[in-house]
Amino acid sequence: MKHLQISPAWFFTDGQGEQLDPRLFALLRAIHKQNKLTQAAEACGFSYRHAWNMLQHWEEFFGTPLIEKQRGRGSRLSPLGEKLLWAEQRVAARLEPQLESLSSEINLEIAHLLEGNKPVLRLHASHGYAVALLPKYIGELPLDLQYCSPADALSALARNACDIAGFHLPIGTAPALYRDYRKRLKPRSHRIIQFITRRQGLMLQAGNPLGVTGLADLAEIDLRFINRQAISGTRSLLDALLKEQAIPSANIKGFEQEEFTHSAVAAYIAANMADAGFGVEAAARQFGLDFIPLAQERYVMACHKQALNDPKFQEFLNIIRGEEFHAAVAQLPGYSSDDCGLVASVEDIFNNA
């Protein structure tokens, strides 16, 4: 079955109606990565002449350079080039969960039209890098993947609006989170599927110029913080860690500023709009940021016990237990797929926290 993917596109238009070529962003990304226009052009499939002409055209459009030549060190993005690149990446990062959920709905509608109604596995889950891999490895299994908060995912499972609810549990900390999630599950009727473990911590500008060493510095150093939305599991973990260390969030500049994904927080910092944020290591590495690990957590999935006998569940478990999926998770910094696909009781998960 073919899977369609939705991606955001920019249409920057001036007063005369001229639109910014979206291929420019690919070239800017490559220049930022390669630091040489020749290599960047090759990575984009452009000739050097075409890449140079494109840059010249849009430099005339904006009236200022997009790259800066460095003697003996190739090329680097100008301040405007960097702003354009980070703006594009922030848009993509912020819209990612909504677009992936919409893609899932559209793909299912097309599949129903072309292949008829097939049993669909409905997964409501907290957004994350490993979960986002599933549509690429799910094969022919129809998957309806909808991103939401952990609490909303578990509520959907309780009213049978989904088959699997994905959420994450900190290891050795945040007991209040355990109590909240535990009361939503019934030991006799629910089972827990182990998925992955991942590291969360502070994401900092490259080189850590402010010398941040831990959470306490967020309130003691004059820095700009970018937060996750209040209903997210990552925000709940951060709130718990701050409470454990008696750090008043009111003293953290920018604590009220929110983004909606790990990658959006990282992109915000990479764009020099903030100095620090909290999220997974994979997001920090994706955007070339420094990272201080502060917590490890298990990402798990709850389901009804009787559902495990359903063929589509067995197919799902075989996929996440497979070598191909494990190899993909291994490429994510700070992630581990140990015990992925192992089914446990509610007591096993919550009593051994």
pLDDT, tens digit, 9 for 90 and up, residues 90-137: 777 777 777 776 776 776 677 666 666 677 899 999 989 999 999 889
Q: Is the pLDDT of residue 254 over 70?
A: yes
Name residue, tokens 């006799």. Answer: 188
Q: Quick one: pLDDT at residue 220?
A: 96
Radius of gyration of the chain (CA): 22
Q: Is the pLDDT of residue 14 over 80?
A: no
Task: Give the pair of three-digit tokens for residue 49.
Answer: 């002449």
Residue 263 corresponds to which amino acid? S
Task: Report phi then psi at 294, rounded to 5.
Answer: -125, -20
Give the separation between CA 274 and CA 110, rounded to whole angstroms. 41
Whether the Cβ atoms of residue 150 and residue 190 lie closer than 8 Å to each other: no
The three-state secondary structure class of 188 is: coil
The three-state secondary structure class of 10 is: coil
Our CA angle for 233, 236, 193, nearest 5°, is: 35
Q: Is the pLDDT of residue 1 over 60?
A: no
Pairing of strands 121-125, 164-170: parallel
Residue % of the chain over a pLDDT of 90: 67
Q: Is the pLDDT of residue 203 over 60?
A: yes
Q: Which segment of 14-28, 140-154, 189-203 scores lowest on mean pLDDT?
A: 14-28
Name residue, tokens 């007991």. Answer: 175
Q: Is the pLDDT of residue 188 over 80?
A: yes
Q: Is the pLDDT of residue 333 over 80?
A: yes
Share the mean pLDDT of the chain. Answer: 90
Q: Quick one: pLDDT at residue 113?
A: 66
Residue % of the chain over a pLDDT of 70: 92
Task: Give the pair of three-digit tokens for residue 86.
Answer: 């980070």
Task: Give the pair of three-digit tokens for residue 218.
Answer: 């967020």
From the centroid of its chain, how far is CA 345?
A: 28
Pairing of strands 290-304, 67-70: unpaired
Whether the Cβ atoms of residue 258 and residue 227 lie closer than 8 Å to each other: yes
Nearest of 78, 88, 82 to residue 20 by alpha carbon: 88
The more confidently predicted of residues 11 and 318 is 318
Q: Quick one: pLDDT at residue 134?
A: 94
Which pTM value belongs to this model? 0.83
What integer is the mean pLDDT of 216-232? 96
Q: Quick one: pLDDT at residue 106?
A: 76
Q: Quick one: pLDDT at residue 111?
A: 65
Q: DSSP assignment, residue 206?
A: T
What integer is the mean pLDDT of 223-240? 95
Q: Quick one: pLDDT at residue 119?
A: 78
Q: Which segment of 87-91, 126-130, 243-247 scores lowest on mean pLDDT?
A: 87-91
The more confidently predicted of residues 95 and 31 is 31
Whether the Cβ atoms of residue 242 and residue 273 lie closer than 8 Å to each other: no
Name residue, tokens 């197919």. Answer: 315
Task: Give the pair of three-digit tokens for residue 326.
Answer: 């494990």
